[in-house]
Structure 1
Amino acid sequence: MKNKNSVVSSSRRSFLKSTALVATGVMIVPRYVLGGPGYLAPSDRLIVAGIGVGGKGEGDLTSFAQSGKADIGFLCDVDERRAAASRARFPKAKFYKDYREMLDKEGKNFDAVSVSTPDHNHAVQTMAAMEMGKHVYVQKPLTHDIFEARALTKAARDYKVVTQMGNQGASGDGVRIMQEWFNADLIGKVHTVYCWTDRPVWPQGIPWPKESVPVPEGLDWDLWLGTAPKKNYIEGLVPFNWRGWWDYGTGALGDMGCHLVEAPHKVLNLDYPKDVQCSVGSVYVGEFQRGYFPESCPPSSHVIMTFPGNERTEGDLTMHWMDGGIKPKRPEELGPNETFGDGGNGVLFIGTKGKMMCGTYGANPRLLPTSRTEEVNITPQLERVPGGAEGHYAQWVEGAIAGYGKKDLSSPFEIAGPLTETLLIANLAIRGQDIRKEIQNDQGRTSYQYPGRDIKLLWDAKEMRVTNFEEANQFVKRNYREGWSL
């Protein structure tokens, strides 16, 4: 069997000799000319294809190009309107609407793929690229489902490709500073963590609109749906509001959890949670009646996860996740006018000897009271990523050029997969709130029970299943629309 990385090297050589990128005036000398197969020349560059190139996708591609070691060779987006800015920024790049067509026709001509599409299509697009031996950078959260996260994590090892999730705070100095504070025993062993966000800033906790509207011009709605069930287009779904619908998004947890939970996950070396429970904000329709909208994420939630204890924790660790503007009680050590977290979002570690907090991306870490931050002088022990959080992109580019296993990355799938699973396990508890059973009384009147609202879900990480509430397991691995598969 031919080695996947050999295929990639051959593809690069063919592309560099035959396509328009060479004509831009940048002379790229193929590695085989200089030193034979596997030779890494200082001038070697990564050729990247983007899937989902509007908005954040454009920003990602621009950051790869700004590394000075990557060329954007191909663009793919189902929405021509959203793709316009990237097409203008990278005029030499060839454009496609269907990623499957791009991979099939151009797979020989690029080394790596950047995926920045809605959550529900991450896994199929990423897996297709990895099966071709392509290195991949995938926006957070890594996947929509727990099963997908486990599958991509395994595939990255099997195909020996360089991977990175787009939670750039993992490359920032903040999380490394907090690791060093913890290692210096400044806060002792941790027993409780709070993570909170002001998200959602899109509609949630609402019914799926009865009225459909015309699909915007330039949007291929069927391709956008991809793995999701066939439905009519609704007002404002694209480009942003899909995040609040379970068919496509993963709610506030999926959007911000990778930026907030990442710090305690890494500092405390956490495993998968062993149980999860939650409460969610209610939406009322009619007189004192809670709305039942299982298609939509709730307007707010408070999730409590229990992680098995380890050498960094004081017994089992309790992690609180709060969204929709809910925040934990301010620490007594924090001054009345001092900002808690970064205002809208934050993380608080509570240890046996002290506390520390940070904002989004692990930024602006502080010991509590904050005056203690200036008093402590810890010699840096952990290597920093050049450029910090913004260096997250160049780190992946350089890792991909070097090849699998040659460079350490901040959020490869072996880290990003379990982190994403943790967030999706929390979402099981949230989604379980809206599982209902119909009850008929003796008079023939219908009422409903919600068996998932007042229980703690017990999680078997090895088997990837809830052991005490079978109905929740339907969300571990969803059914794809016919014609789509992982």
Structure 2
Amino acid sequence: MKSTIDRRTFIGGVSTAAVGLTIVPSSVLGGKNIAPSDKINMAYIGCGTQGLRELPDLIKNPGVQIVAVCDPQREAVGYYDWSPKGLLNSLQNCIDDKNWNPGGDGKIPGGLNNGKDIVESYYSRVAKNGNYKGCAAYTDFREMFETNKNIDAVKIMATDHLHGVMATAAIKRGIHLTMHKPIANRLEEGFKVIEMAKKSDVTSHLIPWESNGSMEQVLAWIKGGVIGELKEVHNWSNRPVWPQYAEIPAEQPKLPNGFDWDLWLGPEAARPYHPNYTNMVFRGWYDFGGGAMADMGHYSLWTVFGGLELENPYFIEPQRSHVCGLTDKATAYRLNNDYAFPYASSCRFKYPKNSWRPAVDLIWYDGGIRPAVPEALIQQDHELPQEGLMFVGSKGIIMSPFMLKDPYVVSGDLKLAEELNKNVSYERESGVQRFVDAVKAGKQTAGSFREAWPITEAVNLYSAALRSNKNLKYDSVKRQVTNTSEVNKYLTREYRAGWGLDEV
């Protein structure tokens, strides 16, 4: 594709067939070589609140130079955060300017203009000349990748529905990438991205790996027989901590200035703008988010999947809350909702046995739902925490904080548990530095996309099961639901013109 193709061409939905990129040779998928002494030229996609919150750690790394930022929303309008001044104070500290303000509606920082301003203000302060203007700004990541040839790597902090297409565009061009969860909010798209990453020399890194604890101690207890045979793994989260909506917005408010709604929608079907789809609340919609499990399960379960070798679930059972309303005829009805995640849910996955353990059930809970309190904890007058992990065996139970750090035996062979105690370190190198070092060494990180299929598969089956409200029998080889074929439409995406994985 020629770099002279302009922004209007991209927005108009040019197909790859028209520009000669229908087939991507494997040679194209190599990563860019960077000398250990050189800085990595990075692009930064996603200047919302979480993107700006994580920007200082990257911008301060001496091995990185941020050369471009990208976001379809330019101005700081309509953003939400966990505190009124926390993000603002962090950004002011980063650039050493207590007078910096985000503009826009004067509430919460966010948007492309803020991202560019923070990058250039920081580098101006470091250079001590107050005049750095070397950060390009784009609303369309496709244009950025095609026209800016100085990009070695990219950090992606976008909404869930854009992750897969953005990652694909980077890998095709040999651009190393680090990205927030999930890899994709559709199962088939996630599979294709991971397979592409496996065939590429590109360094890939999924950010939530850094927050996962170690399975070393839990595995020592399980394999040592402390709790008998492992039967169940329970994981519960206090998410959602954002508003959920039971109905599709009916009103059509004005689009904020500088917000390219068409680019924000990306591969998803066109619909009128509404703020209830965007920013903090996008996770609650099946089209744009991945729900509570995609949000938090990557932090708690990734090492669980790896340690227990949980692969290829064959049965998925959803339980979900529902919402009722009243008609103008004074009758009640239940909303038929296949567009937004429920306020609360649980989802059970059945995994087959392997060479060293029996079949295991993994049960996820969100929205305030938790598993039953074990008898041993009842006897001790203990309640379950708001978030946590529990490994249930035939003879005992192991409990752990949510992100698998400092687990402890509740019941079972307590003497054997003491004998099998391990001195496990939970300290990890900064995720930013881990990624930088891996790119310069031409290696993968422990959080590589190549290792992320089991968790990617699970979070997308969770979404499809809740959306359909049906028990699913799943063929992991074909990646298809076999007992109710209409659910398979939720495992794939119908891409708008210009947004398919073979087009970006």
Q: What TM bracket, shorter-length normalisation? A: 0.7 to 0.9
Correspondence for 1:150 among 176, 184, 191: 191
- Kindly tell me: are residues 467 and 218 of structure 1, through their superposed partners in 2, closer, same or farther at Cα, counting changes over 3 Å? same
- Work out the CA distance in 2 between the residues paired with 1:68 and 1:178: 37
Q: Which amino acid aligns with 2:51?
A: G
Which residue does the alignment assign to 2:230?
190
Runs of at least 5 residues in structure 1 that lack an aligned partner in the other structure: 13-30, 32-40, 434-451
Q: Is the counterpart of residue 8 in structure 1 residue 32 in structure 2?
A: yes
Q: Deviations over 1:293-327 (max 9, x none)?
A: 221111111211100111343x2111111111110
Query: Shift in Å at residue 261 of structure 1?
Result: 2.5
1:430 paired residue among 458, 466, 486: 466
Inter-partner Cα distance in structure 1 for 2:266 and 2:161: 8
C-alpha change, 1:263 and 1:188, in structure 2 (3 Å) is farther
Map of 2:366 onto structure 1: 323
Structure 1 residues 459 and 173, CA, compared in 2 at 3 Å: closer, same or farther?
A: closer
CA pair 104-468 structure 1, distance change in 2 beyond 3 A? same
- Is the contact between residue 112 and residue 136 of structure 1 (CA under 8 Å) also seen in structure 2? yes
Counterpart check, 1:46 vs 2:40: yes
Paired-residue identity, %: 28
1:47-62 residue pairs with structure 2 within 5 A? 47-62=41-56
Q: Is the Cα contact below 8 Å between 2:302 and 2:455 reproduced in 1?
A: yes
Distance 1:176-1:410 versus aligned 2 partners, 3 A rule: farther
Structure 1 residues 204 and 153, CA gap change in structure 2 (3 angstroms): same
Change (3 A) 1:334 1:46: farther
Deviation by residue 1:96-135 (Cα, 9 ceiling, x = unmatched): 11111110111x2121111111111111111000000111
CA contact (8 A) 2:388 2:403 kept: no
How many angstroms does 1:48 deviate by?
Answer: 1.6
- Quote the residue 1:228 is aligned against: 268
Contact 1:45 1:401 in 2 (8 A): no
Distance 1:94 1:168 in 2: 30
1:7 to 1:104, Cα distance in 2 relative to 1, 3 A: same
Paired position in structure 1 for 2:405: 363
Q: Classify 1:173/1:206 alpha carbon distance in 2 versus 1 (closer, same or farther; 3 Å).
A: closer
> Residues 268-315 of structure 1: CA distance to partner in whole angstroms, max 9, x if unpaired?
1110211111121011112442111221111111211100111343x2
Checking the alignment, whether the CA contact within 8 Å between 2:317 and 2:465 is kept in structure 1 is yes
Rate the CA distance shift 1:482–1:308 in 2: closer, same or farther, 3 A: same
Q: Is the 8 A contact 2:156 2:180 kept in 1?
A: yes
CA offset digits 1:208-240 (Å, max 9, x no partner): 011111112232111111111111112343211
Change (3 A) 1:69 1:188: farther
Q: Give the aligned residue type for 2:361.
A: T
Which residue number corresponds to residue 164 of structure 1?
A: 205
DSSP-derived class of the 2:325 partner: coil
Deviations 1:66-107 (A, max 9, x none): 45432222211112222344333311422211111110111x
Deviation (angstroms), 1:189: 3.5
Q: Map 1:389-428; keep pairs closer than 5 Å.
A: 391-403=430-442, 406-407=443-444, 409-428=445-464
Counterpart-to-counterpart distance in 1, 2:382 and 2:412 = 9
How far apart in 1 are the matches of 2:467 and 2:219? 33
From 86, 105, 122, the counterpart of 2:115:
86
- How has the CA–CA distance of structure 1 residues 216 and 367 changed in structure 2, closer, same or farther, with 3 Å as cutoff? farther
User: Does the Cα contact within 8 Å between 2:318 and 2:348 map onto a contact in 1?
Assistant: yes
Q: 2:250 maps to which residue?
A: 210
Q: Count residues with an aligned counterpart.
A: 423
**Aligned partners of 1:116 and 1:139 also within 8 Å:** yes
2:332 is aligned with 1:332: no
Q: 2:230·2:393 contact (CA, 8 Å) conserved in 1?
A: yes
Give ranges in structure 2 of 5+ residues lacking alignment: 1-24, 77-109, 121-133
What is the deviation of 1:266? 2.1
TM-score (norm 1): 0.80
| Alpha carbons of structure 1 residues 334 and 266: separation in structure 2 relative to 1, 3 Å | farther
Q: How far apart are the structure 2 equivalents of 1:181 and 1:93?
A: 51
Report whether the alignment pairs 1:300 with 2:344.
yes
Offset at 1:173?
4.3
**Alpha-carbon displacement from aligned partner over 1:171-211 (angstroms, at most 9, x marks no partner):** x4444443444455444442101111121222335110111
Is the 2:220–2:420 Cα contact (8 Å) retained in structure 1?
Answer: no
